[in-house]
């Protein structure tokens, strides 16, 4: 009994040693726990950011169906406070939107809009830009553009329509998408005329 | 029997040479479960909330900054980073494509202070060459707000300019002489302020070409 109370030479007291060991153990466990929390947080963060596009219930493509039938340019309501048809549109412009599925056949765009500036963008279901142009880069006052898949293009080449060289031909792998046509309204008095020209724009099948 | 002989024989048998983490411990299932649950809960909470805050800020990465103006040339293209993709799909936003124009956003004035709807701002200088540009005032989340005259934008074609081609716009709630960009009619209920400059058919549509071009300066005049 007596010998067990003798301290070990060159060693801290047993009680102190136990205390130090316990303290190191607690802080080590805390660091391990924090590392676990942080790495889990990083994994969850990355997963959340990457899965948002798949889980978004209202993509621009699905919103586009609200404005009217597919394969026709539907005039969007004016961009006014509290009733913006789509987020981030310019109130100085009038917009028309056409949703299409290339499985039904190639899409032929035809438009003639008498304004100083108009532009059109083609977007896929993810909202990425496929192609875009404006009335200067279109090369002429009227727009005539053909959007098709690679297979449809090879079929078309065998029996080309006579005006194929006048068309802007866009080959794409995205079979679903939409086109947004923006036209600048120089003065409110011309808004009706611009709206009519936008509605007259066609987004139909190639004949 | 490879354990080294203890100096004091069996007297210190209760002390081991094992480091604390390897020492046998009494199993504590409830405590272990509680720790695992805490780690899972706080890890998911931090991960989800940090993702939410980054997405809600609506500031895609890879921005090009020119003074107070910011543009995201890669947002809405196939080269966009995952944050921009998440921001754009979640907001169902349709980007201004590069063949159409450039969309620049200012959230601060040129001194770096956050834009406030109850202040008056002087936006002056010149813009990069563009066939047409529009300047729009929105709230902090990019939505239009009610203004006194009913419009909240100015276009380059209606603008009064100085002889050297420079312009000066006063952004204010109340009418101003010259070029007036109306701000929210009830500034204290509007949530934040953003200026949106859209350059249509601009030669500087690529991000690298935007570096170093002259952009309008935004100065705060006074506040209500």
Q: Which residue has tokens 């921005």?
A: B63
Instruction: Please give, rounded to a whole number of angstroms, the shortest distance from the CA of A106 to a CA of chain B.
Output: 22
- Asked if the ipTM is above 0.85, the reply is no
Do residues A202 and A112 touch, judged by C-beta distance below 8 A? Answer: no
* pLDDT recorded at residue B10: 61
Instruction: Please give, rounded to a whole number of angstroms, the shortest distance from the CA of B25 to a CA of chain A.
Output: 12
Between A and B, how many residue pairs show a Cβ–Cβ distance under 8 A? 193
Query: In whole angstroms, what is the distance from residue A179 CA to residue A76 CA?
Result: 12
Q: What is the mean pLDDT of chain A?
A: 81
Tokens of B93: 């936003």
Residues of chain A contacting B35 with CB distance shorter than 8 Å: 33
Residues of chain B contacting A80 with CB distance shorter than 8 Å: 144
Select from A6, A81, A116 the Cβ nearest to the Cβ of B132. Answer: A116
Model confidence at A160, pLDDT cuts 50, 70, 90, reads confident
pLDDT for B197 beyond 80:
yes
Residues of chain B contacting A117 with CB distance shorter than 8 Å: 131-132, 200-201
* pLDDT recorded at residue B5: 56
Supply φ then ψ for residue B15, to 5 degrees: -100, 135
Instruction: Please give, rounded to a whole number of angstroms, the shortest distance from the CA of B80 to a CA of chain A.
Output: 9
Helix H, strand E, coil C: the string for A109-164 is EEEECCCCCEEEEEEECCCCEEEEEECCCCCCCEEEEEEECHHHHHHHHHCCCCCH
Q: Stretch A67-88: mean pLDDT, rounded?
A: 86
Model confidence at B148, pLDDT cuts 50, 70, 90, reads confident
Q: What is the mean pLDDT of chain B?
A: 83
* pLDDT recorded at residue A13: 46
Contact B11 A3 (CB under 8 A): yes
Q: Stretch B72-78: mean pLDDT, rounded?
A: 79
Greater pLDDT, B22 or B97: B97
Q: Stretch B18-33: mean pLDDT, rounded?
A: 80
Q: Which of A25-29, A171-175, B141-145 has the lowest mean pLDDT?
A: A25-29
Residue from B35, B36, B42, B99 whose CB has the most chain A CBs within 10 Å, to mutate: B99
Q: Which residue has tokens 């239009």?
A: B144
pLDDT for B90 beyond 90:
no
Model confidence at B202, pLDDT cuts 50, 70, 90, reads confident
Contact B151 A80 (CB under 8 A): no
Greater pLDDT, B210 or A81: A81
pLDDT for A184 beyond 70:
yes
Q: Mind listing the pLDDT tens digit for each residue in B53-67? A: 888 877 777 778 888
Using CB atoms within 10 A of its CB, is residue A180 exposed (0-12), middle (13-18) or buried (19+)?
buried
DSSP state of A133: E
Select from A14, A28, A119 the Cβ nearest to the Cβ of B100. Answer: A119
| Residues present in chain A in total | 207
B10 touches chain A (CB under 8 A): no
Query: In whole angstroms, what is the distance from residue B152 CA to residue B144 CA?
Result: 7
* pLDDT recorded at residue B37: 93
Share of chain A above pLDDT 90, in %: 11
Greater pLDDT, B210 or A134: A134
Report the residue of chain B nearest A186, measured CA to CA: B157
How many helices (H) and strands (E) chain B has is answered by 3, 10
pLDDT for A183 beyond 50:
yes
Contact B11 A50 (CB under 8 A): no
B3 touches chain A (CB under 8 A): no
């Amino acid at each position: 009994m007596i010998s067990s109370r003798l301290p070990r030479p060159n060693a801290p007291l047993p009680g102190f040693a136990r205390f130090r060991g316990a303290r190191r153990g607690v802080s080590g466990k805390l660091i391990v726990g924090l590392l676990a929390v942080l790495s889990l947080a990083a994994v969850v963060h990355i997963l959340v950011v990457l899965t948002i596009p798949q889980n978004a219930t209202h993509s621009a493509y699905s919103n586009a169906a609200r404005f009217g039938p597919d394969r026709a340019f539907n005039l969007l309501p004016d961009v006014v406070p509290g009733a913006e048809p789509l987020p981030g549109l310019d109130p100085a412009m009038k917009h028309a939107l056409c949703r299409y599925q290339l499985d039904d056949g190639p899409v032929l765009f035809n438009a003639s809009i008498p304004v100083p500036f108009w532009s059109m963008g083609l977007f896929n279901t993810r909202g990425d830009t496929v192609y875009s142009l404006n009335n200067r880069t279109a090369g002429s006052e009227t727009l005539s553009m053909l959007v098709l898949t690679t297979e449809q293009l090879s079929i078309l080449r065998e029996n080309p329509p006579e005006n194929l060289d006048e068309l802007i031909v866009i080959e794409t792998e995205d079979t679903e998408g939409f086109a947004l046509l923006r036209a600048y309204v120089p003065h409110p008095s011309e808004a009706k005329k611009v709206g009519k020209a936008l509605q007259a724009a066609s987004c139909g099948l190639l004949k | 029997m490879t354990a080294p002989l203890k100096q004091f024989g069996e007297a210190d048998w209760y002390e081991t040479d094992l480091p604390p983490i390897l020492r046998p411990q009494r199993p504590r299932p409830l405590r272990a479960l509680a720790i695992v649950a805490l780690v899972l809960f706080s890890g998911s909470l931090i991960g989800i909330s940090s993702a939410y805050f980054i997405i809600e800020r609506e500031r895609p990465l890879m921005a090009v900054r020119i003074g107070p103006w910011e543009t995201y040339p890669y947002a809405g293209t196939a080269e966009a980073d995952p944050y921009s993709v998440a921001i754009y799909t979640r907001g169902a936003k349709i980007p201004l494509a590069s063949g159409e124009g450039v969309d620049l956003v200012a959230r601060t004035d040129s001194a770096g202070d956050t834009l406030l709807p109850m202040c008056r701002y002087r936006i002056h200088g010149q813009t990069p060459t563009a066939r047409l540009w529009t300047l729009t005032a929105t709230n902090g989340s990019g939505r239009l707000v009610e203004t006194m005259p009913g419009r909240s934008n100015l276009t380059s074609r209606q603008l009064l300019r100085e002889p050297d081609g420079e312009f000066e716009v006063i952004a204010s709630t109340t009418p101003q002489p010259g070029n007036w960009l109306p701000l929210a009619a009830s500034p204290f209920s509007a949530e934040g302020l953003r200026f949106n400059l859209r350059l249509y058919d601009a030669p500087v549509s690529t991000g690298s070409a935007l570096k170093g071009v002259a952009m309008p300066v935004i100065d705060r005049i006074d506040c209500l």
